[in-house]
A = this chain, B = another copy of it.
Amino acid sequence: MAAKPPRSQRAEPTILDVARRAAVSKSTVSNVIRGVSNVSPETRKRVLDAVAEIGYRPNALARDLVRRRTSTLGLVVGDLANPFYSELAKLVEQHASASGYGVMICNTDGRPESEQRRIGLLLEQRVAGIVMLQFSGDTDVLAAVLRRGVPVVVVSCYEETADCVAVDDERGAELAVAHLLELGHRRIAYVSSATVEPNTDDARRGGYERTLRRAGVEPSPELVLELAPPPWVENDEENPARLAAFLDGDDGPTALFVSNDLVAIEAIDALDGLGVRVPDDVSVVGFDDIAMAGLARLSLTTVAQPRDALARIGAELLVERMESGEDGPPRQVRLDPTLVRRRSTAAPRAPR
């Protein structure tokens, strides 16, 4: 007779169900759940029992709606498949969770349109704040978010217009280039790829050029190469070919400063394929110090970023901002990178 009730959502118990079961009012239940106000031990127990018996779970939507604030953070990341970012994402999630926040994650693939759309969705979810690992550089969307009163912290990428925590990219580049200079290299190339945000790339390249100049070496545009972004290894013909051409000739570079470990490792892979030996023929320095850089077989000399500090401070800045509700001026935190010397660098073949 009656149509089969296709209820998939067997109604979740509400605070009212608990109240009835414990023979108290909604508010009392609410009070014991939130652990506020004074509730007599007996009432508390009755309520708690009722909660357990009917398996009640507060509805965060309803709570957040009335409180007009969620405890959810947005985490915007360009490429979760890049170990540097996945490690950072993991750390951020840990800190957020420890501070009582859940995390909605958005992978933007580095596309600004996608970034904007995802951020829009985060806003509709009324996230309490947004952590951006990697940032397209579109200051407008940032401004729009900030204008809405939603705090943003940019992690691992320096950004003027918002709270941010990042390593000193110039200093990092300096460490890398100084190391190469010290080894005797003079023709040092800067190799980057679109995986690195513009801001960051500029700073690293700036540091690279400045350090060269300071050593009396004039940077040459011929020694700058932009590689296609990963999916690296196998099947890809483009980057190896570009690298080959780049290294070709008598005054090709003897060392590569690559703006990011993933690309550095890809470059080494391509070099291997080309029969160019690292570091015998060419030295390579990366940036980030992702876990795999430490593998004996890769042993990539690189500029290490303090990932834990980045994530922790990022979370702290954001939490502080969210919970204080102040929107003072942006706070920039600069962290010091360190050079990790491994076996991808050595003195040049024929130092001059």
Those of A55-90 within 8 Å (CB) of chain B: 55, 57-62, 64-65, 68-70, 72, 75, 79-81, 83, 86-87, 89-90
**In the complex the two chains form, is A12's CB within 8 Å of B105's CB?**
no
Task: Give the contacting residue for A105; candidates B6, B65, B70, B93; CB below 8 A.
Answer: B93
CB distance from A270 to the nearest CB of B (A): 9
List residues of chain B with CB within 8 A of the CB of A295.
Answer: 232-233, 265, 269, 298
Encoded as 1 (CB less than 8 Å from any B CB) or 0, chain A from 118 to 138 comes to 101101111000000000000
CA gap between A292 and B48 in the complex, in Å: 51
With a cutoff of 8 Å between Cβ atoms, the chain B residues found around residue A352 in the complex are: none
Cβ-neighbour of A57 out of B79, B90, B120 (below 8 A): B120
* Contact among B61, B80, B324 for A93, CB-based, below 8 A: B80
Compute how far the CA of A291 lies from the CA of B292 in the bound complex, rounded to whole angstroms: 12
Complex Cα spacing A76 to B8, Å: 22
- CB of A34 within 8 A of chain B? no
Q: Size of chain A's interface in residues, with CB distance under 8 A? A: 68
Does A113 count as interface, using CB distance less than 8 angstroms? Answer: no
Contacts of A97 in B (CB 8 A): 106-107, 118
Which one, B10, B70, B104, contacts A102 given CB within 8 A?
Answer: B104
Query: Is A252 an interface residue, CB under 8 A from the partner?
Result: no
* A344 to B: closest C-beta gap in Å: 11
How many angstroms from the CA of A265 to the CA of B12 in the assembled complex? 47
> Judging by beta carbons under 8 Å apart, are B125 and A61 in contact?
yes
Closest B residue to A74 by CB, please name it.
Answer: B102
**12 A-B interface contacts by CB (under 8 A):** A6-B326, A8-B326, A9-B68, A9-B325, A60-B125, A60-B126, A65-B65, A81-B87, A83-B83, A103-B106, A234-B294, A269-B296
